[in-house]
Amino acid sequence: MDFNNFKSRLERIYSSIDQRIEEDHGESIKVEWGGNGDKDNVVVGTTIHISFDKGKKESTDLNKIILIVHNLANLKDHLKKIISNPKDIEQAINDSTYLPIVLDLSNQEKHGYPLTKFRRSFKDPKIVNVTHGMIVSAGLSTFSIDLMTGESQTKNCPIAMHANIVDSNNIHLFTLDELVDGAITDWEEIIKKFNII
């Protein structure tokens, strides 16, 4: 692998971002019956809760998120080697809404929380509330579930990982999607601005 190949690095970034979505959700659908929880004695008015986190491990999900964060953050050092004035990359990062949060999350994972140096956003961001949800497109997706057995059939209904990014006071900053999409858009703008590709 050529670690200096910039296009290859971008492809790996996009690949890690795509890992937020699983096309095959296999056994991830979980059905819980309210009341006495007895699916054999469901009566009118029984609450049924459907979730998409069955078999998911928070550590595995956090590893996927951290991989995305690290890939986005590590682009900084690669770009600084390419352009003539590395300070321009630092300034572009500081001008971004999303990239300082990404870099802080990456550095916190490496050095611990809270950061005593390398703080960019001064928000001490955290990743919380990792969950999964089904993406359904009108006219393209079908989803059915037998509420008595919990068996499901789906078509074009991938499962997406969701999380929230909060500051040190647990004040919401972004959803995971907002952070990732915003950061990749900002990197793409920086790449265009400095004619890197």
Domain definitions of the chain by residue range: 6-193
| Contact indicator for 163, 63 with CB cutoff of 8 Å | no
Residue-wise pLDDT for 132-144, tens only, equals: 877 777 778 777 7
pLDDT tens, position by position, 26-39: 667 777 766 555 55
Q: What mean pLDDT is predicted for residues 63-89?
A: 92
**Per-residue model confidence (pLDDT) at position 176:** 96
Report pLDDT for 102. Answer: 97
- Cα end-to-end distance, the chain, whole Å: 19
Question: Each residue of 1-23: b (16+ CB within 10 Å) or e?
Answer: eeeeebeebbeebeebbeebeee
188 has a pLDDT exceeding 80: yes
Section 112-123 average pLDDT: 81
Confidence label for 128 from pLDDT (cuts 50, 70 and 90)? very high
CB 108 within 8 A of CB 115: yes
Q: pLDDT at position 60, please?
A: 81
Cβ–Cβ < 8 Å for 172, 58: no
Looking at per-residue pLDDT, the higher value among 42 and 165 belongs to 165
Q: What is the pLDDT of residue 18?
A: 84
141 vs 143: CA distance, rounded Å: 7
Quickly list DSSP for 21-83: EES--TT--EEEESTT--GGG--TT--EEEES-TT--HHHHHHHHHHHHHHHHHHHHHHHHHS
| Kind and range of the H or E run holding 182 | helix 176-193
Average pLDDT, the chain: 83
Kindly report the pTM of this predicted structure.
0.80
Q: Which of 43, 56, 25, 30 is nearest to 149 (CA)?
A: 30
pLDDT, residue 34, reads 67
Distance CA 157, CA 44 (A): 28
